[in-house]
Chains A and B, each alone.
Chain A
Amino acid sequence: MKVKSLVIIILCVLSLSSCSIFTGVEQTPPPSISPSPESNPTATPDYTEDWTNAKKLVWVTDGVDTLGVDPQIFIDFNNMLLEKGADFIVEFVDIDSFDYMEYQTYIRGLKAEGRQVDILNTGIGAEQGEGFATFPEAVKDGLLEPLDEYLSTVDGQELYKAFDPKAWESVKIQSKTYGVNNKINLVTPYYLHINKDVRDKYGILLPEEIDSLVQLEDALKLIAEDQKSVDKDKSIIPIDNFMPKLCGILGYVCLDSGVAVRYDDKGNPQAFNLFEDAEFISYMEIAYDYIDKGLMRIDESAFNTLSKGLFFATIAQSSPEEFFDGVLALDDQIEVVSYILSDGYVINELNRKIGIASWSENKEEAFKLLTMINTDSDLSNLLQYGIFGKHYELIDGKVRMLDTDKRAPGYFSPANQMITYPSGLETENKEQIYRDIHSLGKMSPIAGFTLDESSISEKLENIKEVYKKYEPIYTGEMDNIRETLNQANRELIEADVELVLREINQQLTCWWQD
């Protein structure tokens, strides 16, 4: 007995003291004040290596993939390029600013001054609703070189085949390809996820297929009734707010003005007034009915509750990194039964695209660099995860990031993430899984379409105002959804929505036929 007690005491003391020894070491660095981040362009890395025989390419980026990154990664990257037969190295140049328009001024200045730029990242866009898309603007301002001629060569085909043909469609502007779209989530399907634990707890029998959310109503009522007395933070959400995702679920996309476009029965793009669409109205009425009955939570804290897995049903766009084989990664991994609602669309790329600078004097090498990064997993792994053993380790073949002062470029790196090591819920055959998902997605009905607004600009502006005014419908803030939509439609008719739709549809038809 004495021995047992002693063992327990020793165990407790040692566990605590060894933890505090560690934290003690970690907690006593000298006081320091971090320097203010530079807002001037900074070059990484410092070129102290012996690369004198190699040509230097300059890659200009918005910093999302370079700021705070360990410079050793770029040194290793260059050494790896040379090992793999390249006769060039790369200098990454970025700008550190929270004002993303500064980068737009900066890259235009580089061109105006004729400074060396070979690869250009067009930069992240303006915040939602500000209407500045960096990729088409870069093309419009002549910053990017068309890649079509390069892609048509034998070497170019190697890069072309690295991605789904729709990825190339998405970076075409006026029939020319100006960038590489290596986004791993080229298209992300919409799913209805049902939490298995909650299903089992309430003994709910799920249908084979779900045609309408109404099929779940009895289950939602059962859960809501049972959770009535539970604290809001701890109660299970019967279904979370799906209204902001409604367009995606229904396969609709919206133009800047708020006018919706879908494929009609014959597969042609068709513009229409969303607020008059029967399916849209029906879903909105269901949603508002659920809010009234306490089946759907619309408060801000619902977001956190959902992350903890406290829900029965949720509708989400999920990539294989966060949802695979019946497991959904939230704060913890939870088991789900999932129904696919929509394959999602491949959209026209608008921001942060990588291409060859139009004024580059090293275009051949720049194209070769893009090919190497996107087809060689060693280069892509280094660019995404950093240095093995320093920035990441592999556990059962999956990446686990390590604690480092200087980070790896990560998710927004220029790597082709389809060919890098799996992370999250991804599996070893992730490339095939992503390729399958990409192949199922359709091009958005407005991908590549540019509306000529000249004859309807004023009316479009008015229509946009009406749609904007009624945005609160998606957060459940209206009392009577049917009457609200009727009122919105009266205002849209006053704004000449029918004439505008006729004009847009005429343009869509001509564009589609071309």
Chain B
Amino acid sequence: MSNKKTLKLKSIAILIIAASVIFTFTVCASPSPYLSREYGKVSIYDTVATSSIDIRKGTVTTSFNDGKAGYRPSSVEVTVDYVAINTVTLVPYTIRQTRGSNYFIGLNGTRPNSNYRSWRVRGTHKVTYGQQSWTAITEKYY
């Protein structure tokens, strides 16, 4: 490979690095403004709890990750408290629901119609593995 070609390759590589860094901070570094996340551990395994909200719905999730597939001796639970407010009459629409599963659970609260606007979502999360448990509350407003 000639020196000229090597130089050209180097320049391209530098340009790519610069472009990638810019891309990273403009695209990747723009997380949703309406997501709340909590991380934890039960035993040695990772747990994640989230609440997210947009104008139409609130979503909460609880997950347990031991890197295995299929059945595992863990339980996850989440309660969603979701409130949307009618922008005309200013009355609330509230949902409270609890559900459990083995390693991942998600619940949605959805506004009843387009006169309502999501206001608040709260997730109350619990992960149990053997004798240990982890709890968290996540909350987000729109």
- Using a CB–CB cutoff of 8 Å, the interface residues on chain A facing chain B are 3, 6-7, 10-11, 14-15, 18-19, 21-23, 26-37, 64, 67-68, 98, 100, 124-128, 183, 185, 188, 244, 303, 307, 316-317, 347, 350-352, 401-404, 407, 410-412
Contacts and interface: CB of A to CB of B under 8 A. Distances in A.
Contact of B38 (A33, A64, A351): A33
Contact of A10 (B8, B13, B31, B91): B13
A28 B38 CA distance: 10
Contacts of B21: 18
Contacts of B88: 185, 188, 347
A402 B141 contact: no
B29 to A, nearest CB: 6
Contacts of A244: 113
A127 B12 contact: no
Contacts of A10: 13, 16-17
Contacts of B9: 3, 6
Contacts of A28: 39
Range, interface on chain B: 35 or more
B5 A32 contact: no
A395 B16 CA distance: 27
A220 B94 CA distance: 36
Interface stretch (B70-78, B97-105, B130-138): B130-138
A352 B88 CA distance: 11
B32 A403 contact: yes
Interface string B21-47: 101110011111100001111000001
Q: Which 7 pairs of residues, A with B, have the shortest CB-CB distance?
A: A18-B24, A31-B40, A351-B90, A14-B20, A34-B137, A125-B91, A352-B90
A403 B31 contact: yes
B125 to A, nearest CB: 9
B90 A98 contact: no
B141 to A, nearest CB: 5
Contacts of B129: none
Contacts of B3: none
A134 B120 CA distance: 20
Contact of B120 (A30, A67, A347): A67
29 contacts: A3-B8, A3-B12, A15-B20, A15-B23, A15-B24, A18-B24, A19-B24, A21-B24, A22-B28, A26-B31, A28-B39, A30-B39, A31-B40, A32-B39, A32-B40, A33-B38, A33-B134, A33-B136, A34-B138, A64-B85, A68-B141, A124-B92, A127-B91, A244-B113, A351-B89, A403-B32, A410-B142, A411-B87, A412-B85
Given A7-B13, A317-B115, A351-B90, 7 more contacts: A10-B16, A33-B40, A125-B89, A127-B94, A128-B89, A352-B90, A403-B32
